[in-house]
């Protein structure tokens, strides 16, 4: 009888441990899913950033090439800018308060 009581206590203790471990597994599964989703989102973000960087790099190279080609093809300099300012309305409204002076 004494041995049976000890075994029943042991069974109860092991069942509690088993439930605690199952709860931890479930919690870890939820966390793993969240981290996987976050990882996928970050990977997508990084891929977009890499593509944007490549695009900007190509644009930069193209602009540098155009600049170099422009210098090589056209040795004639542009005429100097006029010293008189020209006026532009910043909002489309011709009110004097909205007019700005732009120098070229």
Question: CA 90, 94, 95, 96: dihedral to nearest 10 degrees?
Answer: 80
Model confidence at 93: pLDDT above 70 = no
Please report where in the chains the tokens 């909205």 appear, as a residue. 98
In the predicted model, what is the mean pLDDT of residues 61-78?
A: 78
Write out the E strands in 7-91: 86-89
The rounded distance, in Å, linking the Cα atoms of 34 and 43 is: 14
Instruction: Please check whether residue 86 is in contact with residue 99, taking contact to mean a CB–CB distance below 8 angstroms.
Output: no
pTM of the model: 0.51
Model confidence at 84: pLDDT above 80 = no
Model confidence at 100: pLDDT above 70 = no
Mean per-residue pLDDT over the chain, rounded:
82
Task: Read off the pLDDT of residues 41-50 as tens digits, 9 standing for 90 and up.
Answer: 999 999 999 9
The rounded distance, in Å, linking the Cα atoms of 96 and 19 is: 79
Please report where in the chains the tokens 């695009």 appear, as a residue. 55
User: CA 16, 22, 23, 24 torsion: positive or negative?
Assistant: positive
Task: Read off the pLDDT of residues 4-58 as tens digits, 9 standing for 90 and up.
Answer: 999 999 999 999 999 999 999 999 999 999 999 999 999 999 999 999 999 999 9
The rounded distance, in Å, linking the Cα atoms of 102 and 90 is: 10
């Amino acid at each position: 009888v004494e041995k049976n009581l000890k075994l029943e206590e042991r069974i109860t203790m092991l069942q509690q441990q088993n439930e605690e471990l199952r709860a931890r597994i479930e919690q870890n599964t939820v966390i793993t899913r969240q981290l996987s989703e976050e990882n996928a989102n970050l990977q997508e973000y990084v891929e977009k950033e890499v593509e944007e960087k490549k695009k900007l790099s190509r644009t930069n190279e193209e602009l540098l090439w155009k600049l170099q080609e422009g210098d090589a093809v056209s040795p004639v300099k542009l005429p100097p800018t006029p010293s008189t300012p020209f006026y532009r309305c910043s909002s489309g409204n011709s009110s004097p308060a909205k007019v700005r002076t732009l120098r070229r």
